[in-house]
Amino acid sequence: MKSLFRATALGWLLICLLAPAVLAAKAPKKSKKDQVVTLSTSLGDIRIILFDATPLHKANFLKLAESGFYNGTTFHRIIQNFMIQGGDGNSKDSNPANDGLGPDNDKTIPAEIRPEFTHKYGAMAAARQGDFVNPTKASSSTQFYIVQNHDGTPHLNGGYTVFGQVISGLDIVDKIAAQPKDMRDRPTTDIKMTMKVEKLKKKKITELYGYKYE
């Protein structure tokens, strides 16, 4: 029995010694680079970082931005001390009445609501249909909004997927929110956007914009 005990103890010792190495081998390497999305308007540029912890939303947004989908879309809804909203493909046409409605066959993205991502000033989140038709809180595949209230909009926490943060251009967000608008909160002058995606070292992003990675 003593020899069996020694063999078993030796086995456990080897497992304990090897386990960290196995786990380390399986753990994915964190990239030293990240994408910065530059959203350009006639009022100035807004730069945004997207969160790795919301991978479905990040991948979808980057795909659309890199494909040129957002180029020519507008911020179709602005409410000062609340948020600015854009990204609807309908806003590219000449009919302002359909802005914000989205296409009839608009796909959705499963919610990725995380408690650590709140609706603070400059947070970017996905728009969506209301709970009565969308109890799972699935996101629009294209429409997004940026929180403009300097104190945040905490009443929206837990209800919408926050998947990014403005790292430069908060003053431009304020300028957009302050533009003249009609009774539907649509700017009376189109605020069109273009987007560019640039891959930079995270260290460089921190140096340029002060954004700190966890």
Tens digit of pLDDT per residue, the chain (214 long)? 444 444 454 444 444 444 554 444 555 577 899 999 999 999 999 999 999 999 999 999 999 999 999 999 999 999 999 999 999 977 877 777 767 677 667 789 999 999 999 999 999 999 999 999 999 999 999 999 999 999 999 999 999 999 999 999 999 999 999 999 999 999 999 999 999 999 999 999 999 999 998 7
Fold of the CATH domain 33-94+107-209: Cyclophilin (2.40.100)
Separation of CA 129 from chain center:
17
* 3-class secondary-structure state, position 140: strand
Evaluated on CA atoms 146, 150, 154, 155, the torsion sign reads: negative
Measured CA to CA, the distance from residue 133 to residue 129 in angstroms comes to: 7
**Integer angstrom CA distances of residue 3 from 16, 82, 114:** 20, 72, 52
Separation of CA 212 from chain center:
16
| Phi, psi dihedral angles at 6 (to 5 degrees) | -65, -40
| pTM of the complete model | 0.85
* 3-class secondary-structure state, position 70: coil
